Amino acid sequence: MSMLPLRFRCFSGHDNVHRRHCIIGHAVVLCAVMTCMTKAAAIAQPDEAITAAEAQPAASARGPEGGDVRGDAGPDSERTLDPERTLAVLSYRSGVADLADIDLQLANLLRQKTALKVLDSQDARRRYGERLDRRVVNCGGDAGCIAKLGRALQVDEVLLVGVSRFGDIILTLQRIDASTGDVSIRIAEALEPNVAPEAAVLLSYLRRVMPKRDFVRYGFIRLDANIAGAEVFISGKVRGRTPLPSLRVPAPGTYHIRLTKPGYIPADASVFVPPDSKVEVDLSLPVIEKRPWYRNVWFAAATGVVIAATAATILVIVLDEPDDHPVIINPP
């Protein structure tokens, strides 16, 4: 495929902000031209076309009750996205060797910072086959074409990473809904040649592209109690009555657990929940025993401080006992 003799200029007299905007603006034009050229090349290679079977929507790419989840429809639809959905990170290059592993770095950051099920380019090749790279190139950045690959990979979304050169290195990220082909968001950044961005910088790009809720990770609290019907409070909020299924909570985080039931002494525990783990807490509520007549308040007041001191000590021991509960952290 021959290249068109395109030439653009961004004057050095401009300040850095104007120069970056100039470069990115020209890069958009260049990408549009390259997309058209790549599509023309794809037409000339019918053997590389995606088959109808591969283009069928995958069940996992559908939203609740069969409806499509459209991340580009606004803030309300962003809230409907499953924070544990599947995402493939694919890369598209236009003859640039810089940032060779940028897609793998972004995929690893998403694994570390989110609960998403992430397929990097290596995982995607194992699932799809070695033709994947050629198919991505033939798509030329077209969202509908990339969405078909996403459905073939049985993922919900595709994060397409584009790398091109236009004086500076142009890095583009676009999040594509595999079920509809809609582009939720697209960003472009001009980077200095031969300078790899740090992890913190890459993470800032991801936070601009992905919904905020994706960066809230979760763990589980499994609660076992010696009685049924006890009201369960997690950090002051009622979560139901025992027995309860495992409770999903944002992680990492520390949570105060309290169980109450009339006729029983409340039980308390504080637990730290790491991301992607399950914490098992076993709580026992002691039965409140009826006090004998000689431990009533009027009798203690009449008999002096010796009995009062004894009652206070017993009260402290009783309150300490519910805090002594085993906490088991299971690896994910």
Give the number of other Cβ atoms within 10 Å of residue 68's Cβ.
15
Which stretch of DSSP H or E encloses residue 207?
helix 199-209
| Secondary structure (DSSP) of 84-151 | T-EEEEEEEESS--SSTTHHHHHHHHHHHHS--EEE-HHHHHHHH-TTHHHHHHHHTT-HHHHHHHHH
Residue 291 confidence (pLDDT) above 90 = no
pLDDT (0 to 100) of residue 286 = 93
pLDDT (0 to 100) of residue 35 = 46
pLDDT (0 to 100) of residue 308 = 37
pLDDT (0 to 100) of residue 307 = 37
Give the number of other Cβ atoms within 10 Å of residue 299's Cβ.
13
Q: Which of 174, 128, 125, 172 is nearest to 151 (CA)?
A: 128
Give the number of other Cβ atoms within 10 Å of residue 80's Cβ.
14
Residue 2 confidence (pLDDT) above 70 = no
Q: Average of pLDDT values for 223-230?
A: 93
Q: Average of pLDDT values for 80-99?
A: 87
Q: Average of pLDDT values for 310-332?
A: 37
Which stretch of DSSP H or E encloses residue 312?
helix 305-320
Q: Average of pLDDT values for 220-224?
A: 92
pLDDT (0 to 100) of residue 269 = 92
Residue 235 confidence (pLDDT) above 80 = yes
| pLDDT tens by residue, 20-65 | 556 555 555 445 444 444 444 443 344 444 444 344 433 333 333 3
The three-state secondary structure class of 47 is helix
Cβ contact 110:89 at 8 Å: yes
pLDDT (0 to 100) of residue 27 = 53
- Polymer length in residues for the chain: 332
Average pLDDT over the chain, rounded to an integer: 74
pLDDT (0 to 100) of residue 9 = 47
Give the model's confidence band at 312: pLDDT under 50 very low, under 70 low, under 90 confident, else very high: very low
| pLDDT tens by residue, 185-204 | 999 999 988 888 999 999 99
- Domains, the chain, with CATH or none: 16-215 (3.40.50.10610), 217-290+325-330 (2.60.40.1120)
Rounded percentage of the chain residues whose pLDDT exceeds 90:
48
| pLDDT tens by residue, 270-290 | 999 988 889 999 999 999 887
| pLDDT tens by residue, 122-138 | 999 999 998 999 999 99
Give the model's confidence band at 324: pLDDT under 50 very low, under 70 low, under 90 confident, else very high: very low
The first and second tokens of residue 93, run together, are: 């290059």
Which stretch of DSSP H or E encloses residue 19?
helix 16-43
Q: Average of pLDDT values for 60-85?
A: 49
